[in-house]
Chains A and B, each alone.
Chain A
């Protein structure tokens, strides 16, 4: 009892401290915007706010050029023009805190001790990347919160609710579509036990240290086996319900907004993201290639060549890791961002929110492997930023250097992924349903 009260207090303290930090940053941002030449607020936030103002005035959010999001976002930010311009930042920061809470919930469900949970929550809440992104007015924390909520729903056996939110969030931000196959895989035959509810695999440090190999043997070992597993398993009631409802939600929202805003919506909020190629510099390895071809266009072989690595990696990760769902989602997201044709820093939040979910299963120590990974990743990013600064703010022709820096950053991303894969203890999210003959084994567990 005492420890439960203590844990509630600690989590509450961490959340309160991070709420205070975020509030202070929002207030500071308001001050900086009013007094300094360089704005604290993200440019996109001004776009959302203008779009919301347009909706408030009875118009279309797409009247604001470069608004490329679901109209839902503009609706959420209506109080920006009605109450206060900082409303959206508070909303995004609240979502940010919710992500912290959900990380704790998920790890608790998987049996992680309190202390480890707290460090994982802190890894999100006090990551300088995340708290600045929310307070500068970036909407990604909302997407992160919904993604983690979907995970919680799946872990608790609330398949319909998970489907509801999944359809909505794919409409909202599109990229979570990459999780569709792993979701359907975990909803396969091994998802629900006889009670109809999934059984979660509980974390235990000794078990993992000793039976690492054994537990790995439980998991799918070859691509072929997984494929067969997948094909024979995925037609279950849960999987079909999930697919149908989330698909319905996606098309319903898309249909409603197409009805309201027509092709503006479809072109800007959906098709733009699917076909986006940006010749201006960004972290993606493809930017210079795209710039060099922007006057003549791309051949279908070039399109295929830039899509194929992404596809291969996604399929391999899904095939190998999907039953360790949070780990699979983390790797998929890192790979998706790394191989995407456009990559900006805000995309990093997509996998930062999943990172705390895999930390307890990672045997990497901060000294020194963990530190090396962080330094390699951040160092290559800073290296890229230096060249980007010279190009954008000094007008130096450093396209080739910047492109090479992008390649180095891809190599760094790949290195970190390999390290994480190597040091991770593969653990099924759900234990296989109990067969009638093995009741004793479960009782023991």
Chain B
């Protein structure tokens, strides 16, 4: 229906869907609390983030939060019973660097570190999943991140939403990054994990205030695990929302052009092009 209504309507619908998605996506912790916070997904599916951006591909469908994501409650039950799943004890996130290319550095610490964690990883394959909903004005380069996967820094990584790397913010949409980090005894030093996510700033819309401020919301952290011996016919990942407490806000100040410059910049640009071209023409005729 929205498609028949033309691109404008579609854009409005997408924007509305995004806002509702953004509003809803901050709620899984609440939704999960009190109810069970463990869900399942089939092994055939790699990413969780496309659920978050479900609304991008089909804006008529209601947004589904993570808590409602179980694919099969019954099958899921057996998987999640009687396991002591590691919990998060600390999460810090920092925006590191200057200028247009920076890194979000996550520092994650698990509770009940020593024996419990080792026992858990003995019996289970486990991945830490970070889902960062990027604000408008910042993008992650999926091709750059792919090289991280090739170098085995990440297990998997995907960017959903607007992945055009060149457009300024005014002409682009938001995107979400999903990082999978393999949890092994060898990758955990003191149950502490540090993960770097390289990001790039888009050119912000014009503003007289010299810098546009781009603020990041809180990321979602999940633990995805399954028993090491897999029965192929009903392979399921258990997904546990780690219910990370909101992290400190990260803000990125991006220099922006000033609308007040339009007049003199355009006229002097054209004038200098004209003067230079005329002097070349003159030289060609005279010399």
Instruction: Judge whether B277 and A309 touch: CB under 8 Å.
Output: yes
Tell me how far the C-beta of A90 lies from the nearest C-beta in chain B, rounded to whole angstroms: 21
- Chain B residues near A399 (CB-CB < 8 A): 255, 257-258, 261
The segment out of A127-135, A139-147, A158-166, A314-322 that lies at the interface is: A314-322
- Chain A residues near B119 (CB-CB < 8 A): none
B211: Cβ under 8 A from any A Cβ: yes
CA distance A421 to B285 in the complex (A): 10
- Chain A residues near B285 (CB-CB < 8 A): 222-223, 316, 320
Total B residues in contact with A, Cβ cutoff 8 Å: 45
Tell me how far the C-beta of B213 lies from the nearest C-beta in chain A, rounded to whole angstroms: 12
- Chain B residues near A46 (CB-CB < 8 A): 143, 147
Instruction: Judge whether A395 and B100 touch: CB under 8 Å.
Output: yes
Instruction: Judge whether B205 and A309 touch: CB under 8 Å.
Output: no
The segment out of A195-203, A250-258, A286-294, A352-360 that lies at the interface is: A286-294
CA distance A239 to B266 in the complex (A): 41
- Chain B residues near A392 (CB-CB < 8 A): 99-101
B194: Cβ under 8 A from any A Cβ: no
In the complex, residue of chain A having the shortest beta-carbon distance to the beta carbon of B276: A414
The segment out of B47-55, B78-86, B162-170 that lies at the interface is: B162-170
A391: Cβ under 8 A from any B Cβ: yes
Mask, B86-113, CB within 8 Å of A = 1, is: 0000000000001111000000000000
Instruction: Judge whether A50 and B143 touch: CB under 8 Å.
Output: yes
B281: Cβ under 8 A from any A Cβ: yes
CA distance A411 to B165 in the complex (A): 32
A214: Cβ under 8 A from any B Cβ: no
- Chain B residues near A395 (CB-CB < 8 A): 98-100, 211, 253-255
Instruction: Judge whether A407 and B99 touch: CB under 8 Å.
Output: no
Instruction: Judge whether A312 and B168 touch: CB under 8 Å.
Output: no
A207: Cβ under 8 A from any B Cβ: no
Which residues of chain B in 92-139 are interfacial with respect to chain A, using CB atoms and an 8 Å cutoff? 98-101
B171: Cβ under 8 A from any A Cβ: yes
A397: Cβ under 8 A from any B Cβ: yes
| Given A289-B266, A302-B266, A393:B273 Cβ within 8 A | no
List 3 tightest A-B contacts by C-beta distance, closest first: A309-B277, A397-B255, A393-B99
Question: Can you give 24 contacting A-B residue pairs, CB < 8 Å?
Answer: A47-B143, A65-B165, A223-B285, A285-B273, A286-B269, A288-B261, A292-B206, A292-B259, A292-B266, A309-B274, A313-B281, A316-B284, A320-B285, A335-B280, A338-B276, A391-B99, A394-B98, A395-B98, A396-B255, A399-B258, A407-B272, A413-B276, A414-B280, A421-B283
Spell out B's residues near A (CB within 8 Å): 98-101, 143, 147, 163-166, 168, 170-171, 203, 205-206, 210-211, 253-259, 261-262, 265-266, 268-270, 272-274, 276-281, 283-285, 287
